[in-house]
């Protein structure tokens, strides 16, 4: 489908990526001798499961991230939102909070599917939270595109925000944030999951969408979002919290002998038109994640 807001964001990132020279870039100096002006090399290193300290430290890398992943992640989350929106009446308002929103691909997935299902978008509220203010250059473009909608970004702790403001959240989205957290601090992620569990128990959220990388490792060094999803599910079941849990995979594990995750999604293609300007950046055009949708009963 055509989505002007997404086209504009991709065009913005393509322009910025070309303009930023990265002369004396601290990232390249410190971590990457192989960037060679192709920051997908930098991204690839950051995203490796064995990386535990290198972050998205330069703006050029952020634009490259959007060029490579935004279409895929927006398509993956759009399909998750499809499940939830279909489950709810269109007369109800819908608040969607994203934890670790980064460049907010899920914002695009959300509005795309709301429009597709003729869900009144003036009743949709999106709030993106990230502790890293570096994404602001990108999120400001989204803010401008969605200026007639109820869209905002907060560079603060979401759990604190929810507590202070005593808000009720219809959908909480964790889109590639658990894998990010697990890379840098596994103990902190565990506390983080406890907070999410508490939000469900106390009925402060109705649905949780977790969409993340399909890596099935369970060893201490490499375990990632998959282990977190399992832990959260187990805790909910063990404590008899009334929920339904739906699990979907967009592709099968790449190695043999691994247990399948949930049911295979019917569609795994990119849902959006690909602007000419970004062909050269070889965007991922297939959904490839695992997703879990928890509904509090
Ligand atoms: C891989 S990126 C974001 C993915 C994103 N949703 C997208 O659209 O592509 C993960 C983000 O999670 C953020 N993050 C990690 N831990 C966090 C925390 N405790 N609270 C909020 N954000 C966090 C990071 O700063 C990073 O920007
Ligand atoms: Zn740089
Ligand atoms: Zn680079």
What residues are neighbours of ligand 2 (ion), with CB under 5 Å?
22, 25, 27, 58, 60
Among 111, 66, 99, 128, which Cα is nearest to 209's? 99
pLDDT computed for residue 210 by the predictor: 98
Asked whether the beta carbons of 101 and 176 are under 8 A apart, the reply is no
For residue 35, the CA-to-ligand 3 centroid distance in Å is: 4
pLDDT at 176: 97
93: nearest Cα among 168, 175, 7: 168
Q: Is the CB of 73 under 6 A from ligand 1?
A: yes
Query: Which ligand is the nearest neighbour of the Cα of 39?
Result: 3
Provide the residue ranges of all domains of the chain, joining segments of one domain with +: 70-296
Q: Does residue 286's CB lie within 6 angstroms of at least one atom of ligand 1? A: no
Closest ligand to residue 56's CA = 1
Ligand nearest to the CA of 139: 1
The answer to which of 30-34, 90-94, 132-136, 211-215 has the lowest mean pLDDT is: 30-34
Cα of 29 to ligand 3 centre, how many Å? 10
Q: Is 108 in the pocket of ligand 1 (CB under 6 A)?
A: no
Rounded to whole angstroms, how far apart are CA atoms 12 and 5?
11
Q: How confident is the model at residue 23 (pLDDT cuts 50, 70, 90)?
A: confident
Q: What is the reported pLDDT for 24?
A: 75
| Three-class HEC string of the chain | CCCHHHHHHHHHHHHHHHHCCCCCCHHHHHCCCCCCCCCHHHHHHHHCCCCCCCCCCCHHHHHHHHHHHHHHHHHHHHHHHHHHHHHCCCCCCEEEEEECCCCCHHHHHHHHHHHHCCCCHHHEEEEEECCCHHHHHHHHHHHHHCCCCEEEEECCCHHHHHHHHCCCEEEEEEECCHHHHHHHCHHHHHHHHHHHHHHHHCCCEEEEEEEEECCCCCCCCCCCHHHHHHHHHHHHHHCCCCEEEEEEECCCCCCCCCCCCCEECCCCECCCCCCHHHHHHCCCCECCEEEEEEEEC
> For residue range 71-91, what is the model confidence (pLDDT) as tens digits?
999 999 999 999 999 998 777
* Class of CATH domain 70-296: alpha beta
Ligand 1: does its nearest atom lie under 6 Å from the Cβ of 130? Answer: yes
CA distances from 75 to 1, 14, 70, 241, 268 (A): 10, 20, 8, 30, 8
How many CA atoms within 13 Å lie on the side-chain side of 72? 19
Q: Which atom of ligand 1 is nearest to the CA of 188?
A: 19
Average pLDDT of span 287-297:
97
Which residue, by CA, sits nearest to atom 16 of ligand 1? Answer: 181
Closest residue by CA, ligand 1 atom 23? 100
Which of 9, 130, 195 should be mutated for ligand 1, with most atoms under 8 A from CB?
A: 130
Which one of 44, 73, 75, 132 would you pick to mutate in the ligand 1 pocket, going by the greatest count of ligand atoms within 8 A of its CB?
132
The residue whose CB lies within 8 Å of the most ligand 1 atoms, and thus the one to mutate among 100, 134, 154, is 100
> Quick one: average pLDDT of 113-137?
96
Contacts of 242 (CB under 8 A, 6+ apart): 296, 297
> Could you tell me the distance, in angstroms and rounded to a whole number, from the CA of residue 184 to the centre of ligand 1?
12
* Cα separations in angstroms, 287 against 4, 28, 262: 21, 30, 15
Model pLDDT for residues 131-169, shown as the tens digit of each residue: 999 999 999 999 999 999 999 999 999 999 999 999 999
pLDDT band at 56 (very low <50, low <70, confident <90, very high): confident
pLDDT at residue 3, rounded to an integer: 98
What pLDDT does 277 receive? 92
Measure 107 CA to ligand 1 centroid, in angstroms: 14
The number of the ligand nearest the C-alpha atom of 43 reads 3
């Amino acid at each position: 489908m055509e989505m002007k807001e997404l086209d504009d964001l991709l065009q913005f990132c393509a322009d910025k990526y070309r303009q930023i020279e990265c002369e004396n870039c601290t990232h390249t100096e410190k971590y990457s001798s192989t960037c060679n002006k192709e920051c997908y090399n930098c991204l690839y290193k950051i995203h490796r499961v064995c990386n535990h300290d290198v972050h998205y430290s330069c703006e050029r890398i952020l634009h490259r991230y959007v060029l490579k992943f935004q279409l895929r992640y927006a398509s993956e989350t759009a399909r998750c939102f499809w499940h939830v929106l279909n489950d709810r009446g269109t007369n109800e308002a819908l608040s969607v909070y994203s934890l670790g929103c980064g460049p907010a691909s899920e914002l695009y997935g959300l509005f795309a599917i709301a429009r597709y299902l003729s869900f009144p978008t003036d009743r949709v509220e999106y709030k993106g939270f990230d502790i890293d203010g570096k994404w602001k250059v990108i999120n400001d473009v989204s803010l401008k595109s969605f200026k007639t909608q109820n869209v905002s970004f907060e560079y603060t702790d979401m759990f604190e925000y929810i507590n202070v403001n005593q808000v009720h959240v219809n959908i909480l989205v964790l889109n590639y944030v658990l894998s990010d957290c697990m890379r840098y601090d596994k103990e902190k992620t565990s506390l983080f999951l406890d907070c999410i569990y508490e939000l469900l128990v106390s009925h402060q959220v109705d649905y949780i969408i977790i969409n993340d990388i399909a890596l099935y490792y369970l060893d201490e060094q490499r375990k990632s979002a998959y282990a977190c999803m399992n832990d959260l599910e187990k805790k909910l079941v063990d404590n008899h919290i009334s929920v339904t849990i739906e699990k979907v995979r967009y592709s099968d594990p790449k190695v043999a002998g691994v247990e399948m995750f949930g049911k295979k999604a019917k569609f795994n293609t990119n849902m959006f038109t690909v602007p000419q300007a970004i062909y050269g950046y070889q965007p991922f055009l297939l959904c490839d994640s695992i997703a879990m949708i928890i509904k509090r009963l």
